[in-house]
């Protein structure tokens, strides 16, 4: 994931100001129609936000997922969310593209007049003081998508929907128990590989990734090369053996974006490589393509992954 962030003109002065003030003030012109407010502690201090915000801008793909899981449709999201995350069922006519997470379009954001901006610590960095000038901004103390349960909890707190968060967690745990019971004992012995392809990049998802955390919840084993935090990254096709397992899931990108097209071309190139046919999952026809929800970060996506495990019979050899 690209974590390079841009510095905007005047950020230095704003940062200096922010460092002397732990609590963010609200601009009355951007306030919610309701006068009810609450104070939310977050990674960058404490911010006064509407009790029930209605005009929410979200920076970060997993954070969008967590917000939508609470039954809330944001008014602004990062580039590619609407087309690339069909499982979220966002209304493209009602949600504005605000740019890449690391380079948001402040002009667009200001025009939307949000009453809350949600982002995570690994997304915002130097942009926080500028975001705080647009609307009350809550920076979630999250480093990666493997922390999706905590991300959901923090979003529920900021949105004023803690009861909904509790229900999401309870429903997932109930479904998890059902999936564990339905999968045969053989599933505990299978090694499941999760791979992704982008232009010039082949990699696998390790244990500290969203999909990796779901497999861990179920109790499914991983290949040795993926039984680590992030898994092997930037592999050449000559290293395809590191991607092998009893079952291989290939995460695909949806939509007609250039990135989705390029990813499909990389998948085709990989499958045409001589080493591909030598993988044991290929030889036993246990290779499955799955959607972008495997790279998600919410209870919506987690439940869909559980569905996939049952659909493709991961519990049977």
Identify the burial level of 23 via C-beta atoms within 10 angstroms of its C-beta, where 0-12 means exposed, 13-18 middle and 19 or more buried.
Answer: exposed
Pairing of strands 76-77, 96-97: parallel
Is 8's pLDDT higher than 70? no
The Cα 139–Cα 125 span in angstroms is 9
Structure confidence at residue 35 (pLDDT): 59
Q: Is the dihedral of CA 252, 97, 71, 68 positive or negative?
A: positive
Alpha carbon distance 231, 212 (integer Å): 10
- The residue segments making up the domain with residue 263 are 174-311
Sequence-distant (6+) residues with CB within 8 A of 168 are 69, 70, 152, 299
* pLDDT of 13 above 50: no
Average pLDDT over residues 80-106: 90
Q: Has residue 11 got a pLDDT over 60?
A: no
| The domain boundary residue, chosen from 126, 160, 194 | 160
CB contact set of 296 (below 8 Å; sequence gap of 6+): 61, 62, 65, 85, 87, 145, 148, 210, 302
Q: Could you tell me if residue 169 is inside a domain?
A: no
CA–CA gap between residue 148 and residue 161 (Å, rounded): 16
> What's the pLDDT tens digit per position in 226-264?
998 888 788 888 999 999 999 999 999 877 778 888 889
Residue 6 inside a domain? The answer is: no
- Across 23-27, 164-168, 311-315, the highest mean pLDDT is recorded for 164-168
Statement to judge: residues 147 and 189 lie in one domain: no
Q: Is residue 168 part of a domain?
A: no
State the DSSP string of 87-123.
GG---TTT-EE-EETTEE-HHHHHHH--SEEEEEHHH
For residue 1, tell me if it sits in a domain. no
CATH number for the domain harbouring residue 185: 3.40.50.1980
Are residues 15 and 154 located together in one domain of the fold?
yes
With both helix axes pointing from N to C terminus, report the angle between 162-182 and 148-159 in degrees, rounded to the nearest 10.
150
Please tell me the predicted confidence (pLDDT) of residue 83. 85
- Distance from C-alpha of 149 to C-alpha of 169, rounded to nearest angstrom: 8
Question: What's the pLDDT score for residue 259?
Answer: 81
Please give the structure tokens belonging to residue 194: 């999760």
Q: How confident is the model at residue 186 (pLDDT cuts 50, 70, 90)?
A: low
For residues 137 and 206, membership in a common domain is answered with no
Tens digit of pLDDT for each residue in 262-311?
889 999 999 999 999 999 999 999 999 999 999 999 999 999 999 999 99
- Output the pLDDT for position 74: 97
Report whether pLDDT(28) > 50: no
Strands 103-104 and 116-120: unpaired
- The predicted model scores a pTM of 0.85
One domain, residues 154 and 198:
no
Of the three residues 134, 160, 186, the one that is the final residue of a domain is 160
Confidence of residue 14 (pLDDT cuts 50, 70, 90): very low
pLDDT surpasses 60 at 48? yes
Is position 5 within any domain?
no
Listed residues 101, 129, 160: the one ending a domain: 160
For residue 164, report the phi and psi dihedrals to the nearest 5 degrees. Answer: -65, -40
For residue 317, is it within any domain? no
Q: Work out the angle between the directed axes of helices 299-311 and 210-218 (0-180°, nearest 10).
A: 60
pLDDT digits (tens, 9 = 90+) for 112-142: 999 999 998 877 777 899 999 999 999 999 9
Query: Is 179 among the domain residues?
Result: yes
In a domain, 116, yes or no: yes
């Amino acid at each position: 994931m690209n974590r390079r962030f841009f510095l905007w003109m005047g950020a230095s002065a704003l940062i200096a100001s922010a460092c002397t003030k732990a609590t963010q003030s609200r601009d009355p012109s951007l306030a919610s129609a309701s006068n009810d407010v609450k104070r939310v502690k977050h990674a960058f201090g404490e911010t006064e936000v509407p009790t029930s915000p209605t005009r929410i801008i979200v920076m970060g793909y997993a954070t969008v997922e967590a917000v939508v899981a609470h039954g809330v449709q944001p008014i602004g999201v990062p580039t590619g969310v609407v087309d690339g995350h069909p499982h979220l069922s966002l209304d493209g006519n009602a949600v504005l593209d605000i740019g890449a997470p690391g380079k948001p379009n402040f002009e667009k954001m200001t025009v939307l007049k949000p009453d809350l901006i949600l982002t995570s610590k690994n997304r915002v960095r130097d942009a926080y003081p500028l975001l705080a000038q647009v609307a009350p901004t809550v920076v979630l103390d999250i480093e990666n998508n493997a922390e999706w349960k905590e991300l959901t909890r923090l979003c529920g707190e900021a949105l004023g929907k803690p009861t909904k968060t509790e229900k999401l967690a309870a429903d997932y745990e109930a479904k998890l128990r059902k999936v564990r019971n339905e999968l045969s004992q053989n599933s505990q012995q299978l090694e499941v590989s999760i791979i992704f392809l982008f232009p010039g990049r082949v990699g696998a998802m390790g244990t500290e990734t969203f999909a990796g955390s779901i497999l861990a919840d179920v109790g499914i084993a991983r290949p040795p090369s993926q039984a680590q935090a992030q898994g092997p990254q930037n592999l050449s096709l000559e290293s395809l053996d590191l991607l092998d397992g009893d079952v291989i899931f290939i995460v695909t990108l949806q939509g007609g974006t250039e990135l989705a097209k390029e990813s499909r071309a990389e998948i085709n190139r990989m499958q045409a490589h001589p080493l591909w046919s030598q993988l044991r999952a290929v030889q036993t026809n246990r290779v499955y393509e799955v959607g972008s929800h495997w790279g998600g970060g919410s209870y919506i996506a987690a439940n869909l992954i559980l569905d996939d495990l049952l659909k493709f019979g991961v519990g049977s050899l």
